Amino acid sequence: MTQATEATVVQREERKLVEGCRRGDFDCFERLMARYEKKIYNLALRMLRDPDDAHEILQETFLKVYDNLEKFRGEAQMSTWIYRIAMNEALMRIRKDKHRPRSLEIVDEDGERREIDVADWKPRPVDRALTKELGGELDRAVALLPEDYRGAFLLRDIEGLSNEQIAKAMKLSVPAVKSRIHRARVFLRNELATYFAKGRRDN
């Protein structure tokens, strides 16, 4: 099945589920929720790095989806609409929390680059501790991104949304989305280059 056909099938199935929800069939809502809850939970976890926050974002997202299903006209894809609600909840929470550590300003892309070969960019497969350490480093680096850069990067490179879908989900223009994704990628690349360079130096 081609990607386009698959997307049409998914849309058709979801339209049926929405119709079922509108008729008051809660099983249809549960099936809809089952399609997205893992994605939304993981997105929230990556945005906020806190399981309790992720739980709350997940719940608030689906309460809003439930309450607003009548308004969903199907012009946007269901996934874009749900991501939009979830992202909005996550961004609101981050911006409201004054105690949350401030993310860094994105510096000039050439500012912190180190000489390193891509061949050095992998943990030794036998060393689980190092893999865990790399995971921690990836989480740390992404948390340093300003929240809208982080959101755009996660939606694009982890969730696989198109720039247009992200623009709708984050209420940004497509050029603004592209710029955030580009700068986020460069920033993360530079952070990891520093990490791997340090690892090589220590060995």
Partner 1 sequence: MTTKREKICNTPECRRMRALLSDFIDHALHWRTARSLEAHLAACPPCRCYVATIERTIVLYRERPVVDVPLAVRGHLREVLRERHESAPKKRAGRCCAGKETMRRATAGVAKTKKLAGKA
Torsion from C-alpha of 166, 38, 13, 10, nearest 10 degrees:
50
Identified binder of partner 1 from the candidate list 18, 48, 69, 161, rule CB under 8 A: 69
What is the CA 98 to chain-centroid distance, rounded? 22
Q: Is 185 in contact with 157 (CB distance < 8 Å)? A: yes
Using rule CB under 8 A, residue 157 touches partner 1: yes
Q: Quick one: tokens of 86?
A: 């979830």
Nearer to partner 1, 51 or 74 (CB): 51
Burial bucket for residue 143 (CB in 10 Å: 0-12, 13-18, 19+): middle
Using rule CB under 8 A, residue 100 touches partner 1: no
11 to 40, contacts with partner 1 by CB under 8 A?
21-24, 26, 29-30, 33, 37-38
Q: Quick one: tokens of 134?
A: 């790399």
Residues that bind partner 1 (CB under 8 A): 21-24, 26, 29-30, 33, 37-38, 41-42, 45, 51-52, 55-56, 58-59, 62-63, 66-70, 109-110, 113-118, 121, 134-135, 138, 142, 157-158, 178, 181-182, 185-186, 188-189, 192-193, 197-198, 201
